[in-house]
Structure 1
Amino acid sequence: MVICEHLIGKEVIMITGTGCWCVTLLLLLHRADSERFEVLGPTRAIVAVAGDDIILPCYIKPNISAEDMRVDWFRVNLPDPQSNIRVHLYQDGRDKYHDQISSYEGRTSLFKEELKKGNTSLKLTRVQGTDDGHYKCRVQSKIYYDDATIQVYITAIGSKPEVSIEGQKEGGMGLLCVSKGWFPEPELEWLDSEGVTLSAGPSETDRDYEGFYIVKLKPIVKETVINCFTCRLRQRQLSEQIIMETEFHISSELILVHEEAWRIAFTLSVFVGIVAILAFPIWQWNGLRNDYDVSKVKHIQELEQVKNEHSLQLKILADQLDFVKSRT
């Protein structure tokens, strides 16, 4: 017979048989239900300017203590939400950093005094381009867990477009426009003096170690009446658009100098090519003759060596013959 004792109110009730298991199960279910909680985050995305410190809000409802719970902050890798990267971990009453992604080292922290109030928000310092994305806050007790997802947008205004001359190219003058330190990625375009977009192909895009964009655009322009060109940068940041422009004027004398240099370089390359073609047979003949001369000298040296070896053997035989004659 199974006998169970349960404390109900201030009295101990003894229950036997099947009723014991039923009451135990009901009490376990009641305990699990009483420990259920909801993890809540912000209803809107968080927009942060690069270099600022931000707080990613996350808290438990009802406001029970999270000091003895596990608090996990992840980066959600879209489009695969199951592939998470750890940003911060709090477990067994302390922070743990053994598998924290390196780009977050020294930049994350919880509000320890607020954990007992159910506040599991994360502070992220010196935000950078690589911080842009979705985050998940997961809080787990011994028998229950829940999580919330937060969207973070990072914005960064970079440098004004810098323009320079690359030199004479086939078809005209090569220009270069470069701008650095942007997030999200901006767009570049070149315009002529009348505001018409020039054909320059796609921009070259790169990212620095903090995830900020570096963009380049290289057009080839021809001489115009005023030789004035503009590099324009556009960046869309949520509901607003940023536009920056840099004008660049090229003097006709400079274009003429580069064109003359191009013609001279082309003429020289053609001349060198012709000389190389004409000189090749002579070089080849000299090479063959040199090879023949080297081979001839080598053969004479081999014959001299054989002659010397035979002379030495004949001398040895003569000495032996003289020795035999002297004994007889």
Structure 2
Amino acid sequence: MMSFTVVVPRDQTVAHVGSTDTLPCWISPPENAEALEIRWYRHEFSKPVLFYQHGKIQDVQEESYRNRSSLTLWSDQSGGLKDGDVSLRLEKLRIQDEGSFHCYVSGESEYDSREVVLKVTALGSAPVLFPQPLDDGRMNISCKSSGWYPEPNVTWMSDERTVLRPGGVSRSRGADEMFSVHSWTAVSQSDAQLVSCSMSLMTGEFREGRLNIQAIISSDPWKALFFTLLICALLGLTGLILYIYRHKLTGKKTVKEVCDDETMECLTKEDVGDKITEELKKDTVCDDESTEKLPKEVVEDNIEELRKHAVQITIDPERSHPDLKVSKDRKIVRDAPGYKHTGEGFPFELRAFGAQRFTSGRHYWEVDLARENTPPKIFWLIGVAKHGNCRLKNRSALTPSNGYWFLCSDGPNGIYINSDPPVTLSLTPRPEQLGVLLDYDHGQLSFYNVKERKHLLTMSSRFTGSVAPLFNPGVGDLSSLTVLDCPKPVESPVKSSEPLLSNSSEA
């Protein structure tokens, strides 16, 4: 039997609590692994997460992974064990699953092993803001949220998109190892009319809540006090709902059972619930699945809604790398014939920029990554960049702080965002048509799998100056990267029956 090497992605994999994730691992050169010994383990070799031998999975396993682990395909193009794919599938992820997993493969006379790092995250509840009048006429605003992992970053903003300094931040950790966060700041009517509190993870995912300060300060004290009590009640209800949802994800008591036992009495108090809803609609908007999302329409109802913001994008040949070939209509780009990438990893230097620049508003475009009768691209980079940042070459410099925001598909090394450090995402299947929504005013860049009608992820930032679309076709693919002209959305008085874009919980 020929010698082999175990190969894994170079970056960590990120997945949500309660989701299913794949830890990629394969042998190179590809060969049939059905007769090999495959062992996935964490801390002790003798306590495997999964143990495959003699053509089947053995009943020798760390108890916490029983009925949660299996061998799977790391991509749609994988041939499975026959092609040397020994990737691990984990279901119902827990915070305790975070850390290193060893992929060990052994033959008759040789073996090799590599380490895969799994980062587990939990997106908490929408922040709830509630005010308390101070003696000096200002308003102390508290912001609370729970169910986060790891600890989120907290950012306060005014309606002018100016960062406010928090008065303080406290964090606590519950028995479920999730974090609850409480932050506060003091503002006056002259500081802002609207104040927002957002909590974010390193993946760019975030929750945001807003409060109309002017409306509260100008109201009478009894109304302000009543409003405060209402939001406190909502905070408790939100925490209970989140707790129930977490238990559902981990296979414990169902939502219906918990509601029947504990919450139906609260939910039937319509007089209190109606008042809470009425007041919140006036002054507070939360980014949550059960409430109006902020910024409004960031997660659109469907593709037709996204395309209402469509703009025609063309590639600027003057600002494209000389080793790129751009079509005459400035819509198609690929690596030039004869170009040989001599460096290691993804060819970040092969950048092309859109001719259009944006300084405000919401703009949407689509990119085709799979041509007919040709295998889909597995090497590409798509996003936006601050105008004038076309000379940076070092990958470590291509970060949001330097004016670059993008999603990169690096073949077998996976798909990742350019956070610092980069974070690998579990996106299955690979997008064949990618939608990009730039919301400049709200500081968001969102990506969508158009064919699957899925929202993949949203990066949160603060844009300054003009930004332009960014493209990189990579090298080694038969397909080109094509910027599409979005069809005009179909206007209809009847509500669309098409499936809504759903947030990908495994990203």
| TM-score (norm. length: structure 1) | 0.48
- Bigger proportion of residues as helix: 1
Give 1 or 2 for the bigger CA radius of gyration. Answer: 1
More RCO (CA 8 Å, sep 6+): 2
